[in-house]
Amino acid sequence: MNKGWLNGLFFSGLWVALKMLAFWLNWRLDQIQIFVLLNMALLTCAIALFMYRKKRFDTAQSNILTDIKAGLTVGLPYTLVVSFFLFFYYQDIYPQFNANKRAAYERKMDSKEEIAEIRKASSALENKSDAEIIAMARKNTAMMYDPQFTLSVSLLALLVYSTLNSLLIAVIYRRVVFRD
């Protein structure tokens, strides 16, 4: 198997293991910011380490496109493993997360002030009744906390992030570290 794929699988497995450890320890399950930042840091480390090793020990000449390709060789398996893990995590392992978030939003929608703020934020909602606004908000919230939506968004976000990371790291390595 390609070393880039192995690198991506190792770092994604590390993230999955840390996420499951937090689940088993019941540690900050409803706070996703920590895990998002950890996810971004591990993906950046995976790309940077693989590109460094490839540029350091590979004797063939490379250009910026081959460097970006090397970064994406790591980013793609990482993206696939993490995104599909998130799908199964929110659908089968911890579905209470979605239920809790929807319930919290439902409680928030009971407030007349919140409905007035939603109405004020969008000019298209000025002529809607409170019941229509609540129904639209429930529909949007149900879609946003759907595991399939999470899968789609995480696939897109991680792929874009790994592409931009690969580009940025390749430029830094070329201009600063290896001075081609």
By CB atoms closer than 10 A (0-12, 13-18, 19+), residue 78 is: buried
Structural domain boundaries in the chain:
3-177
pLDDT in tens, 78-123: 999 999 999 999 999 999 998 888 888 878 777 778 777 777 777 7
The share of the chain scoring above pLDDT 70, in percent, equals 98
Does the pLDDT of residue 148 top 80, yes or no?
Answer: yes
Looking at residue 130, its pLDDT comes to 78
Q: Is the dihedral of CA 35, 172, 164, 70 positive or negative?
A: negative
Per the model's pLDDT, the better-predicted residue between 138 and 91 turns out to be 91
* C-alpha of 40 from chain center: 8
pLDDT in tens, 44-78: 999 999 999 988 887 777 888 999 999 999 999 99
- The pair of structure tokens assigned to 159 is 């792929």
